[in-house]
Structure 1
Amino acid sequence: MSAEPLRQLPADVTSIVAFGAHPDDVDFGASATLARFAQAGVAVRYVVLTQGDAGGFEDAGREGIQATRAAEQRQAAEAVGALSVEVWDELDGHLAPTDALQRRVVKVLREHRPQLVLCPHPERDYERLQRSHPDHLACGEIITRAVYPALENPYAYPELQDAGLHAYKLRHLWFYGAPAARENTAVEIGGQLETKLQALMAHLSQHPDPQRMREFVAAQAQAVAANAGLPEGSFAEAFHTVEVNGPATIAGF
């Protein structure tokens, strides 16, 4: 499937929650797009499910790696223009879809009521397996299960409904890190490539070769733009975008 270029952001989006399995996932997958939304006045929030405790390349400082990665994620989100960052306490490398995590996601989404949710793709990419860390797949599955049907079903987690966190219908679910065959949207990121690189450079504990990382990310963004037919010199990020609820959607659990 070829990714169609998206130059104008959806006008109905005023709030976004972007989920990642680890600190840096959102920034690799979608930070330039999120920076565009934030610049347009959209409320952007990050939620990271694991502490990233298995990340990094150095033996030194392992006892403080969770705090380091949380601080890196806050710095990166600030560069993007996000309003808040939550880093949950799941263990890196052990993330799995559970009812407890699904409920926690539903709770966060009902609190913030975004029109757009971002998360890793739940399908494995065999052409580039590094995208498909098991935690990424689990994160994508958790979020997908949460947004339908639990988020919009008032009888799912009735205690949340009783607490005033009412069910609602999400419209936009965007997956980053999708297999190429699933990518259907390329967001032109304009001048936000440098913002993306700034956000990624905040995750310094994860880059044994920062310059190579920067070159790789820029080349990938240029390739996405070229594949979408954008003008030479353009940069873009690719997504598998899904309309969960639209004008033609028939309700049903």
Structure 2
Amino acid sequence: MTRALAVFAHPDDVDFNAAGTIAQWIREGIEVSYLVVTRGEAGQGEPRETIQQLREAEQRAAAAAVGVHDVEFLDGYSDGRLTVTLELRRDITRAIRLKRPRRVLTSSPVRTWRLLDADHPDHAAVGEATACAVYPDALNPYVHPELAGLETWSVPEIWFSEPPEPQHYVDITDTFDLKLAALAQHISQPGTEADSVRKRCAAIADRGQLPPGRLAESFTIVRR
């Protein structure tokens, strides 16, 4: 396992869901790249006319905090209005063929429906589009003719973050400080306070039956 690609809808998604895990991958020598579909213009922050530039800068700083320096943003997609289009599948496929990752990390395409905590539809859309890009698009040279110049690629492993029924828990206690450092860069957004994040990760660890006092992130992993 040498290369991983994380694909998410908004700046801060990857940090809320997986920054502790990614920090572990970096320590293990895995090269990680980020692909962010929007610049988060529907999120909070002022002034509104520069919110996209602000959130892009926050995400780049957050990535650097865990050791990720390859961060790409897509153009032409609007925060809050994402759907699974052929164009989105194509653009993610392009990134997969260029980066040639052996692991892809993305949002769960299955939404949760807890009242006041329902998952964002953008997350599910990006998760589904990424799954389609992994298979069959990245493997099929005929799906997106405009990518004909890029060699096809087979991704052996895809990780879906925070699914409704996770089957894999990563103990991030030793990298939790790096997760907090990443989230601290998202100054414009709420919910990044250390106590709130710790409580959330402790609850995930408890659901995963980790020992008391541990902190975790959760996933569903699909391998070829």
Q: TM-score, normalised by structure 2?
A: 0.94
Residue of structure 2 aligned with 1:146, choices 133, 139, 159: 133
Residues 160 and 88 of structure 1: is their aligned pair in 2 closer, same or farther, counting only changes over 3 Å?
Answer: closer
Aligned to 1:197: 180
Q: Which residue is equivalent to 1:232?
A: 212
- Output the CA distance in 2 between the equivalents of 1:167 and 1:128: 42
Aligned 1:18-37 pairs, distance under 5 A:
18-37=6-25
Alignment correspondent of 1:3: none
SS, match of residue 54 in structure 1: coil
Which of 167, 173, 178 is the matching residue for 2:158? 173
Residue identity matched to 2:38: T
Note the 1:112-191 alignment, pairs <5 A.
112-127=99-114, 130=117, 132-161=119-148, 163=149, 165-179=150-164, 182-191=165-174
Identity of aligned residues (%): 41
Could you tell me how far apart the structure 1 residues matched to 2:115 and 2:219 are? 15
What's the TM-score once normalised by structure 1's chain length? Answer: 0.83
Match of 1:108 in 2: 95
- Measured after TM superposition, the shift of residue 148 of structure 1 is 0.9
Change (3 A) 1:91 1:159: closer
1:214 matched to 2:201? The reply is no
142 and 235 in structure 1: CA distance in 2 versus 1, 3 angstrom threshold = same
Q: Which amino acid aligns with 1:50?
A: T
Q: 1:158 to 1:175 in 2, by over 3 A?
A: same
The change in CA–CA distance for 1:105 and 1:156 in structure 2 (over 3 A counts) is same
Aligned residues: CA RMSD: 1.6
What runs of 5+ residues in structure 1 fail to find an aligned partner?
1-12, 246-253
Moved over 3 A (4+): 128-131
SS at match of 1:153: coil
For 2:178, give the aligned amino acid. Answer: T
Aligned residues: 223
Determine the structure 2 residue equivalent to 1:65. Answer: 51
Please identify the structure whose Cα radius of gyration is greater. Answer: 1
* Separation in 2, partners of 1:152, 1:34: 25
1:23 corresponds to which letter in structure 2?
A: P
Q: What aligned pairs does 1:64-83 form with structure 2 within 5 A after superposition?
A: 64-83=50-69
User: Structure 2: which 5+ runs fail to align?
Assistant: none
Q: Deviations over 1:107-157 (max 9, x none)?
A: 100111101111111111012664511111111111111111111123322
Secondary structure at 2:138 match in 1: helix
SS of 1:191 mapped into structure 2: helix
Whether the aligned pair in 1 keeps the contact of 2:202 and 2:215 (CA below 8 Å) is: yes
